[in-house]
Structure 1
Amino acid sequence: MKMVRATAFLLACLLVSSSLLDLAMAGSSFCGSKCSARCAKAGLKDRCLKYCQICCDKCKCVPSGTYGNKHECPCYRDLRNSKGKPKCP
């Protein structure tokens, strides 16, 4: 009896966590697609995608193209790292 309850509880937990993960992924699809386009030609693609995603999550926008056009998104343009250099690719 304890084994059945434990199995049912485990399945319920997996179901809930799966649906929460789906919701989280759905919210980031905008940033994911925009950042993939932005970082398409980057030499360090993983780093570009990481920082682009951080900037997009905060600013809710990503400039068009693979370089420049930062005037389209002032928040994205104005984010700086701890050294005062632009944070967003």
Structure 2
Amino acid sequence: MKFRMATLLFVSLVLSSSFIPLSFAANPAPAAPVSPPSFCDSKCGERCEKAGMKDRCLKYCGICCQDCNCVPSGTYGNKSECPCYRDKKNSKGNPKCP
């Protein structure tokens, strides 16, 4: 009886230890290419130049730029140049990107 129990314990340890490396071996999905901060800073600076709430504009423009890797030209409109930027919505369904 003791021999069977010891064998069962040994086999279960060997099997469980063989699954541990598999769980650590999974590679995470590669991240999307991210625009360098200087690109987003300069583009958003141009975009938010005439904004009434410039700090808020720069914040959300920066978030959208990092996600979409583009910012429409000009200080307003032209969102058709960057569909990702245009289609981002906030929790209320309004456009997220300025």
Partner of 1:59: 68
2:39 to 27, 30, 45: 30
Deviation, 1:27, is 2.0
Partner of 1:39: 48
Q: Normalising by structure 1, report the TM-score.
A: 0.70
For 2:94 and 2:76, locate their aligned partners in 1 and report how far apart those are by CA, in whole Å.
16
Is the helix fraction higher in 1 or 2? 1
Greater CA radius of gyration, 1 or 2? 2
Are 2:90 and 1:81 equivalent residues in the alignment? yes
Secondary structure at 2:72 match in 1: coil
Aligned CA RMSD, in angstroms, stands at 1.1
Structure 2 unaligned regions, length at least 5: 1-34
Q: Normalising by structure 2, report the TM-score.
A: 0.64
For 1:47 and 1:36, locate their aligned partners in 2 and report how far apart those are by CA, in whole Å.
12
1:68 to 61, 72, 77: 77
The C-alpha deviation readout for 1:41-64, integer Å capped at 9, x for no partner, is: 000000000000000000000000
> Percent identity between the aligned chains?
75
The C-alpha deviation readout for 1:20-41, integer Å capped at 9, x for no partner, is: xxxxxx9210000000000000
